């Protein structure tokens, strides 16, 4: 398609020109040759590119394969594959961490293909299986990433419904071959990629889903699968398929901390292992206003001296430090005075010792998060097309207090914050 950020028959608004977003984009547009004083083919540059990509993932399968890929002169710009199902509101983890990771991949000299899995969302019954609604949500999510500062110079947004129809014979032949070579039990083990338990009763469409996602990797000619840890099973299925067909070059799996279906950042409440769309106070959403962010963080579980399982410290580690490369604390002299942490290790050491108190952490965290979200808020407040798109998304997100009792969202009755109090169907 002429503009890869357009859904079939729909237009995406231009991204806002915000200073923070511009700085992030500028930082991401470094060419591979600029990563070291010598040419991009130098060992030093390869090491820096390798380190940059490894900083994205908690796991790499396999590191030696990634190193060889970056040394391959015939493939100076490896293809990284990422994807998402358009389905309701966007957590800050999906909005900001994806922006950070995509920009790192581009800095490392990669091309990034982001697969807008509209057909997959329909298979998984998102937005009630309404494809037009799913595509509208997809456009809204792209708007968020653009406003947040994702560098689009090296990114292709590809809609699964369009691309598969363009090359249907190639795609479905691949899907059928993957399905033919695997038992149902092996495929159902992959169903966690959809946020489903492997022992859950599934529709036939949901059983077919993993075969299609596995095919996507080869269809998009991906060298690197850059997805969340919850997608690991289907990525491994792709590597196993390479063994079955005697293919030498396997896709490299670079799994990051944040899950696609269930975000691994903990919720803000005590004992809440994951953020939840069903509890709006458990997470920061990309359109939350400043007051909402301040209140959620003020009320967040943040026990003194306890680092493990502390949601505020997790936000600092996975959101604030990768964005700003520092964490600034403003406090009175009698409480230790202002300080700037340049590493998470230093911050956690001070917190564990009691030198850094929750009353120091929370205001600093709220300030940092609000600064990150400011360009996104401004974009949706000032850009008419983006605002209209957001209002459209508001108008058809389903509010469901139970499976049987639901109502359409009415912007005149419900605030957008209330959307997350219910399951998006």
Query: In the structure encoding, which two tokens stand for residue 6, read together?
Result: 């357009």
Residues 317, 361: Cα–Cα separation, whole Å: 12
Query: In the structure encoding, which two tokens stand for residue 404, read together?
Result: 């049987």
Show the low-confidence residues of the chain (pLDDT under 50). Answer: 1-41, 259-264, 269, 271-278, 398-425
Peptide bond into 62 cis (omega under 30): yes
Q: How many CB atoms lie within 10 A of CB 114?
A: 25
User: Which DSSP category does 30 fall into?
Assistant: -
10 Å CB burial of residue 19 (0-12, 13-18, 19+) is: exposed
Tell me how many degrees the CA angle 296-298-303 measures, rounded to the nearest 5.
Answer: 110
- For the stretch 380-411, pLDDT in tens is 999 999 999 988 988 876 443 333 333 343 33
Query: In the structure encoding, which two tokens stand for residue 399, read together?
Result: 């509010």
Residues 73, 97: Cα–Cα separation, whole Å: 30
State residue 94's pLDDT score: 86
State residue 280's pLDDT score: 55
Residue whose tokens read 């058809």: 396
Query: In the structure encoding, which two tokens stand for residue 127, read together?
Result: 């937005």
pTM score over 0.85: no
State residue 230's pLDDT score: 79
């Amino acid at each position: 398609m002429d503009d890869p950020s357009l859904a079939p028959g729909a237009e995406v608004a231009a991204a806002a020109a915000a200073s923070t977003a511009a700085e992030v984009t500028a930082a991401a547009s470094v060419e591979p040759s600029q990563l070291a004083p010598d040419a991009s083919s130098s060992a030093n540059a390869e090491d820096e590119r390798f380190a940059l990509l490894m900083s994205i993932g908690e796991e790499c399968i396999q590191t030696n394969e990634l190193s060889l890929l970056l040394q391959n002169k015939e493939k100076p710009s490896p293809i990284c594959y990422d994807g998402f199902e358009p389905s309701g509101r966007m957590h800050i983890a999906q909005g900001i961490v994806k922006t950070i990771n995509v920009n790192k991949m581009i800095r490392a000299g990669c091309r990034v293909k982001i697969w807008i899995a509209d057909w997959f969302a329909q298979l998984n019954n998102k937005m009630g299986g309404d494809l037009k609604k799913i595509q509208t949500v997809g456009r809204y999510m792209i708007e968020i990433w653009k406003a947040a500062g994702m560098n689009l110079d090296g990114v292709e947004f590809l809609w699964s419904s369009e691309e598969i129809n363009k090359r249907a014979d190639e795609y479905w032949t691949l899907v059928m071959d993957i399905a033919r070579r695997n038992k149902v039990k092996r495929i159902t083990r992959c169903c966690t990629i959809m946020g489903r338990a492997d022992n859950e009763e599934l529709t036939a469409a949901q059983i077919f889903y993993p075969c299609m996602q596995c095919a996507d990797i080869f269809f998009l000619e991906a060298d690197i699968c850059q997805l969340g840890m919850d997608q690991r099973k289907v990525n491994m299925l792709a590597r196993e398929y390479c063994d079955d067909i005697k293919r030498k070059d396997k896709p490299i799996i670079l799994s990051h901390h944040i899950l696609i279906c269930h975000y691994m950042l903990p919720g803000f409440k005590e004992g809440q292992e994951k953020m939840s769309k069903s509890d709006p106070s458990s997470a920061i959403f990309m359109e939350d206003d400043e007051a909402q962010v301040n209140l959620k963080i003020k009320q967040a579980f943040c026990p003194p001296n306890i680092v493990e399982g502390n949601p505020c410290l997790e936000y600092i580690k996975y959101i604030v430090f990768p964005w700003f490369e520092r964490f600034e604390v403003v406090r009175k002299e009698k409480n230790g005075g202002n300080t700037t942490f340049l590493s998470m290790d230093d911050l956690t050491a001070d917190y564990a010792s009691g030198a850094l108190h929750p009353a120091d952490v929370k205001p600093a965290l709220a300030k940092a998060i609000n600064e990150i979200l400011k360009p996104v808020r401004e974009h949706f407040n000032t850009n008419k097309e983006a605002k209209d798109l957001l209002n459209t998304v508001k108008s058809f997100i389903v509010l469901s207090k139970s499976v049987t009792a639901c109502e359409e969202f009415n912007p005149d009755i419900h605030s957008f914050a209330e959307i997350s109090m219910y399951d998006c169907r």
